[in-house]
Chain A
Amino acid sequence: MKRIVAVLAALTVAGCSSSAPSGPGGTSAPPLVIHAVDAGTFQEDFNPYHLEGVNFGTSGMIHETLLYFNKLRPGEITPWLALDHAWSNNGKSVTFTLRQGVKWSDGQPFTADDVAFTFQMLKEHPQLNRNALEIEAARALAPDRVRVDFENTSYAKLFNIAGNSPIVPKHLWDKQADPVTFTNPKPVGTGPYKLSKFSAQLYEMEKNPSYWQPGKPEVPVLRFPAYTANAVQTALQQGEVDWAGAFVPDIQKIYVQGKPELNKFYFPPEGVVTLLPNLTNPVLAKPEVRHAISLAIDRDKIVRVAERGYTKVAHPTGVPMPGGEAYVPPEYRGAAFKVDVEKAKELLKGVDPAQLKFTLLVPSPFTDWVNAAQLIREDLAKVGITVETRGVAFQDWVSKVGKGNFELSIRATASGPTPYYQMRSMLFGGLAEPVGEAATGNYQRWKDVETDRLIDAYAATEDEAEQQRATQGLGRIMVEKAPALPLFYSPSWAQYRTGKYVGWPSEQDPYAMPSPYTSPDAAVVLLHLKPAQK
């Protein structure tokens, strides 16, 4: 966890090179049009701790976090508002050393009081505590040092604390009677942008001239028009949008339009889609049945046909690759799924064929998963497993899978800053609620002492090597015991045009999640952009 990347130097260098305003990046640089989330209209809400009503860009572009975690390179942590962090008290306290000279966009200095205020606010208003941090107290030790105390060991929550909790200004927020319903209509942040215009259909942000990274950002104005899921397809086709995070059915025809150099897209994994066997079902509880199912499924075909080739077949551990190598057990680093019908039949020899009948529950609005389910049905028929696919409404599916009322289902798990988060969410025994009660993870109800021991071991240390070893152990369990069957990675959607600006993340340089709807990654992307040379 201590692998803090020394990007400070890089930032300064980049700052120098762009400080000469004579280049193409002067004030004449064009605005960037962004579509992050589907919306018919916007509400005037810039409270970074609101979930859905909040407008995109509030965290990252306006309100910044203490550290930046690159999910595409697990373990890569960049100092942001904090320069450093140090754990003490067995992981129950963390002290941050803050960057000096940072100012709020209204000119007030950013200090440890603001950080302490933010965490204290989360403690006092659990409704805003979407990271479920067990905060005991937050104290400013010096103008540039702040300590946050937790009720429990919180090493594994560093991302939630420092990477996903945007800091708000104390001098404005402590005047608010109720931060839970406060909509922060005139946001003041430390970030690279300031809100400059708001209407229900469009809001604009302009460059914060006093931003702490000198010479940045080079994109002077961001425009966020409201597009619904339908409207954004037309907008992409007509070239109205420069940066979008949308699912496009036929991307070559609708978006690329024969100009792959100008109209680019990059869909890196942001999680894994797994086939969930309900382990409370006595037949699916048999490991040989699960292994047989896994061997019979032609994942290449699913990716090609159902997923239109937009993503890749998952690694057998489920860890997103490339990027997660250090978290995969060495012996499985080169492993890949292979179809083996004969071996699957062999494994099923001891099972009564009459018992091999399952219903596969999928949410019918996810047409790609519905198609994948059909392919799985065909594949499993080849080894003598009868599968009936059943499409249900999204709400119904969420409820049934949550309560464990299913036999087989498909579900995505977010990868998080390191593969541990994904593994914990998929496998932690503490999340396995009894059937009939809504679970918040481990929907297949996997209960295994060794798994829980590894998860606890990760959470009990800040040593990166030890954490990786624990995650590797979980990867081994994924391969050998098949508690959930990885199918393919769930892609993060990102379409970007290089006509106005260049410097976007790519497979060769995955410095941040490329999708505009990922916070605070989108702000990191904006700070990397440079005007295209005409």
Chain B
Amino acid sequence: MRFLARRLGFYLLTAWAAVTLNFLIPRLMPGDPVELLVARMKGNVEPAAIDAMRRAFGLSDASLWQQYLDYLGNLARGELGRSITFFPAEVSTVIAESLPWTVGLVGVATLISYLIGTSLGVLLAWKRGTWLDGVLPAATFMHAVPYFWVALALVFVFGVTLQWFPASRAYGLDVMPGLTGEFAGSVAYHAALPAVTIVVASMADRILGMRNVMVTTLGEDYVVMAEAKGLTSRRVMWAYAARNAILPNITSFALSLGFVVGGSVLTEIVFSYPGIGSMLLKGVENEDFPLMQGIFLVISLAVLVANFLADLAYVLLDPRTRQESE
């Protein structure tokens, strides 16, 4: 238990550091959200109204230290403030509206990519020397290609040229959101292309990672022993080799679950997907401090929680960590 307590303490410290950085980093950007707004509104706002707008947006000239204390106080009360870009919407509302899209799309895609990638990795390691080795260069190539490039290529081919799939937004324009089959179908249809992008682009990592560990594991004595006992190769492959080789992949899975919340910013931008990545981009463009802070907070907390879960999973899966903690 002391192990867990120590980890928890560590996470609290990290959370405080993250919260503080969330506060500081947006404020290091040059400029001021209201000046930017006036520049963007192209004369639709009297510059003389700038003070009034600052007040409306709750921006203060207070010292950085005072602002920091206010920020911590508001956080403790669970208040994230109002967004400037989407004024007067609360930051929590903006996040609540966009987060499900990201978690739905990126979460499902990550799960699929993990399942397929890990299985493929196991197979590739097991069937070394067969035609399956041809997958390796392809995987290395996909590993090197950036997400957004895959996304752009897919949009161009399947969205614009062939028009098989919609190239943007989360559901059809004629569909009203609700618990209907039509809406669910439309969401799935619109999610197909971005999901494929994420799966294709992130699967390579899993394949390579799993295969490499698996190859090492296959050389272990207990695998030879299992084979010598005459167990079926399926049993040896999954129960003896893969089960032991999967530990590092679990860590990376837990980490990527944390990053699911952060979303695939570029994928969301390419597909105009209304997730948290698109909101973050908007926030950064407009120097929307409250929105940026809120989104960064949710992302960093998600990563921390995911890490903590990975720690817990390790305690359950790997007896050695348990020994150490006693």
Contact = CB atoms under 8 A, between A and B. Distances in A.
A128 B97 CA distance: 26
A127 B31 contact: no
B46 A130 contact: yes
Interface string B190-206: 00000000000000000
Interface string B81-97: 01101111100001001
Contacts of A389: none
B39 A40 contact: no
Contacts of A17: none
A226 B98 CA distance: 15
Given A52-B85, A53-B85, A395-B31, A201 B171 contact: yes
A420 to B, nearest CB: 13
A359 interface: no
Interface stretch (B47-55, B225-233, B238-246): B47-55
Contacts of B272: 40, 226-228, 230-231
B274 interface: yes
Given A199-B177, A394-B36, A399-B35, A130 B87 contact: no
Interface string A387-427: 00000011110111010000000001111100001000100
B270 A230 contact: yes
Contacts of A126: 49, 51-52, 55
B282 interface: yes
A196 interface: no
B103 interface: no
A261 B146 CA distance: 42
A234 B161 CA distance: 11
Nearest to B284: A395
B184 to A, nearest CB: 15
Given A53-B89, A228-B168, A399-B32, A129 B49 contact: yes
Nearest to B169: A201
Contacts of B94: 43
A160 interface: yes
A41 interface: yes
Interface string A33-56: 000000011010101001111000
Contacts of B270: 230
B274 A127 contact: no
Interface in A299-341: none
A400 B278 CA distance: 27
A160 to B, nearest CB: 7
A396 B31 contact: yes
A57 interface: no
A180 B46 contact: no
Nearest to B277: A40
Interface string A243-272: 000000000000000000000000000110
Contact of B48 (A127, A132, A398): A132
A398 B287 CA distance: 12
B208 interface: no
A51 B41 contact: yes
Given A398-B39, A399-B30, A399-B35, A440 B173 contact: no
B88 A183 contact: yes
Contact of A398 (B31, B55, B169, B273): B31
Contacts of A43: 86, 89, 94
A200 interface: yes
B170 interface: yes
A454 B89 CA distance: 43
Contact of A160 (B46, B52, B170, B177): B46
A438 B88 CA distance: 25
B43 interface: yes
B144 interface: no
A215 interface: no
Contacts of B261: none
Contacts of B89: 43, 45, 53, 183
A440 B47 contact: yes
A311 B283 CA distance: 31
B168 A50 contact: no
B215 to A, nearest CB: 42
Interface string A124-142: 0011111110000000000
Nearest to A223: B173
B88 A416 contact: no
B191 to A, nearest CB: 14
A488 B326 CA distance: 76
A201 B37 contact: no
A271 B168 contact: no
Contacts of A415: 43
Contacts of A201: 169-171, 173, 274
Nearest to B39: A398
5 closest Cβ pairs, A-B complex: A414-B43, A440-B47, A127-B56, A132-B48, A399-B31
28 contacts: A40-B273, A40-B274, A43-B89, A51-B37, A52-B87, A126-B51, A126-B55, A128-B52, A128-B56, A129-B52, A130-B45, A130-B53, A132-B47, A182-B88, A183-B89, A199-B176, A201-B274, A223-B173, A225-B173, A226-B169, A230-B269, A231-B167, A234-B159, A271-B42, A393-B30, A395-B30, A395-B31, A440-B38
Interface of B: 29-32, 35-53, 55-56, 82-83, 85-89, 94, 97-98, 159-160, 167-171, 173, 176-177, 269-270, 272-274, 278-279, 282, 285-287
Given A129-B49, A164-B44, 12 more contacts: A40-B278, A40-B279, A43-B94, A52-B286, A132-B52, A180-B88, A199-B176, A234-B167, A393-B30, A398-B35, A402-B35, A414-B43
